Amino acid sequence: MSGFHAIRDLSLGRRDAEAALVPKGSIGGRALITVVAIMTFLSSLAAGGAVLVVQSSQDWRAAISREATVQIRPSPSRNMEADIKAVLKTLDATPGVTEIRTLSKSDSDRLLEPWLGQGVNLEEIPVPRMIVLKTSATPRVDFAKLRDAIATAAPNATLDDHRLWSQRLATMANTFVVIALVILALLVTAMGLAVSFATRGAMAGNREIIEVLHFVGASDGFISRQFQQRFLMLGLRGAVLGAGCAAFIFFLASIASRRMIATPSGDQIEALFGSFAIGWVGYAAIATIAALSAAFSGQTSRMVVYRKLRSLT
């Protein structure tokens, strides 16, 4: 419609020819918007939580994988200081090792304090000595080769590259992602059923309109597209509402965690989740969920209508 016609018709309270063929009032719009909003909100929380855990796990793993520990156990037949020197020499010659720190006897004893308490005489206990080393991303340290070299230099020394911890963290993060995906699948199923019921109700309420559309030559595809457009708009409103609330909650949480920095509880949270911010990846995931929720509402409605019409004889 030209601008002149549009302005004239609007001024006269008229509408253009593309008025919706499925009337707004014929669908339980508010109820459906609320259902889609709740589903999108919960899906966004699940996705945001998964992003948070995966990001934190990546940070933890990056920190762990850049660090390794050599433990030298005391033995009556070995000279501890000589073994430490031999291991340090081996580490110095290893490409990829960027920093080496030898824990003193007192440092090693202090590591046992949380378990044994203070004031215990550790002279009688064979406390191992530790060497902490940091590695670079490139060149990467060949840990298998280094492990052999250390065993040759000091048979009592063992290398721990923290791989076990890294694997456990990866498993934990992957478990969270799987749980989030299962929650998403359940929510999508529930939303699909809600949209399906609403569509059937709308079809029953608009039976006469569907009949007239058929008589004037509308195809099943055309009619199902009319329902799709209506449900897409309803789904979009619900999805924006639900995703907006979820994004707002994550935003507030990130601000709150920043304000709690340097407090005991803030340190705990930071140790677990970093800054508790889901970042652009998390917000992009929430926006994607909102878009998919709306599209899913429209598409489900279209499929339900199309199948129902095709089954009519």
Partner 1 sequence: MVRFDNVGLRYGMGPEILQDLSFTIEPGTFQFLTGPSGAGKTTLMRLLLLSLRPTRGVITLFGRDSSLLDKDALTAMRRRIGVVFQDFRLLDHLTTYENVALPLRVQNQREESYRSEVHELLRWVGLGDRMHALPQVLSGGEKQRAAIARALIVRPELLLADEPTGNVDPTMARRLIRLFVELQRSGTSVVVATHDLGLMEQFEDARRLVLGGGRLHIYD
Using CB under 8 A, list all residues that contact partner 1: 1, 9, 12-19, 21, 23, 208-209, 211-220, 222, 309-310, 313
**Please, which residue, 23 or 139, has the CB nearer to partner 1?**
23
Provide the minimum distance between the beta carbon of 234 and partner 1 in the complex, in angstroms, as a whole number: 17
Q: Shortest gap between Cβ of 216 and partner 1 (angstroms)?
A: 4
CB 77 within 8 A of CB 83: no
Q: CB-wise, 81 or 211, nearer to partner 1?
A: 211
* 129-135 sheet: strands from edge to edge: 97-102, 129-135, 67-72, 157-160
Looking at the Cβ atoms of 262 and 312, the one nearer to partner 1 is: 312
Considering the complex, state which of residue 2 and residue 77 has its C-beta at the smaller distance from partner 1: 2
CB of 9 to partner 1, least distance (A): 7
Closer to partner 1 by Cβ: residue 5 or 140: 5
- The least distance separating partner 1 from the CB of residue 169, rounded to whole angstroms, comes to 56
Q: Which is nearer to partner 1, 97 or 210 (CB)?
A: 210
- Nearer CB in complex with partner 1: 15/258: 15
CB of 17 to partner 1, least distance (A): 4
Residues 235 and 229: their CA atoms lie apart, in Å, by 10
CB of 302 to partner 1, least distance (A): 16
Smallest separation (angstroms) from partner 1 to the CB of 310? 7
